[in-house]
């Protein structure tokens, strides 16, 4: 019996609309005071939610649809960093090795805050900064996010997991 590793890919997606009555939104743990607040039970952090979904796509353990709902409804947790840390616990022997985030938004202006957002993600996922990539698009007026009504995030994560092979 030999122990090998295999590499697998996870994908996650999340969107939130803006509220009309309150300002201040959180994206990748970074606070944007001038943008409207997300319409969500939690802080609506689309990046952390998309990463949770990417983790669920390989573990098959519902985080946003399970653990996070419990924490949000029963304990009043609104900070999505807490949900992401819970998602990480479900990985067990699976290790995250790379993370790419794609954000579609007309507002807030995200590019100039790229480093801070990448640092936040890298710290939580336990990755070096060069293992976290981020790309931005305004969406060319083809969706609600590109009209400035909210933000969409897609996350692709690469994982390493042990594989035992009998030879």
User: Which residue carries 């590109």 as its tokens?
Assistant: 146
In angstroms, what is the minimal distance from the CB of 91 to Zn ion?
20
10 Å Cβ neighbour count for 140?
A: 8
In angstroms, what is the minimal distance from the CB of 47 to Zn ion?
10
CA atoms within 13 A on the CB side of 158: 11
CA–CA separation, 112 and 83 (whole Å): 26
**Is the CB of 49 or the CB of 118 nearer to Zn ion?**
49
Q: Do 65 and 54 meet the contact criterion of CB atoms below 8 Å apart?
A: no
Mark residues 36-75: x for contact with Zn ion by CB under 5 A, - for none: -------------x--------------------------
Question: Which one of the spans 6-14, 52-60, 102-110, 150-158 is the region binding Zn ion (CB under 5 A)?
Answer: 6-14
The residue number whose beta carbon is nearest to Zn ion equals: 49
By CB under 5 A, the residues from 11 to 30 that bind Zn ion are 14
Question: Which one of the spans 10-18, 55-63, 86-94, 114-122 is the region binding Zn ion (CB under 5 A)?
Answer: 10-18
**Is the CB of 90 or the CB of 152 nearer to Zn ion?**
152
Can you tell me whether residue 7 is helix, strand or coil? Answer: strand
In angstroms, what is the minimal distance from the CB of 157 to Zn ion?
16
**Is the CB of 83 or the CB of 159 nearer to Zn ion?**
83
Task: Report DSSP letters for 34-64, one per residue.
Answer: EEEEE-SSS---HHHHHHHHHHHHHH---II
Q: How many residues bind Zn ion (CB under 5 A)?
A: 2
Helix (H) / strand (E) containing 31: strand 30-38
The structure tokens listed for 27 are 């994206």
**Which residues contact Zn ion by CB under 5 A?**
14, 49
């Amino acid at each position: 019996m030999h122990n090998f590793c295999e590499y697998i890919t996870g994908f996650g997606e999340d969107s939130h609309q803006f509220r009309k009555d309150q300002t201040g939104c959180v994206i990748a743990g970074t606070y944007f005071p001038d943008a409207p607040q997300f319409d969500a039970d939690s802080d609506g952090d689309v990046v952390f939610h998309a990463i949770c979904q990417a983790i669920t796509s390989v573990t098959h353990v519902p985080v946003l649809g399970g653990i996070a709902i419990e924490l949000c409804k029963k304990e009043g947790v609104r900070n999505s960093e807490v949900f992401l840390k819970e998602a990480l616990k479900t990985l067990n022997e699976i290790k995250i090795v790379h993370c790419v985030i794609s954000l579609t938004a007309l507002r807030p202006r995200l590019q100039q805050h790229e480093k801070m957002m990448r640092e936040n993600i890298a710290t939580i996922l336990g990755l070096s900064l060069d293992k976290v990539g981020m790309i931005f698009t305004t969406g060319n007026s083809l969706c609600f996010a590109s009209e400035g009504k909210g933000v969409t995030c897609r996350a692709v994560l690469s994982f390493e997991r042990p594989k035992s092979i009998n030879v």
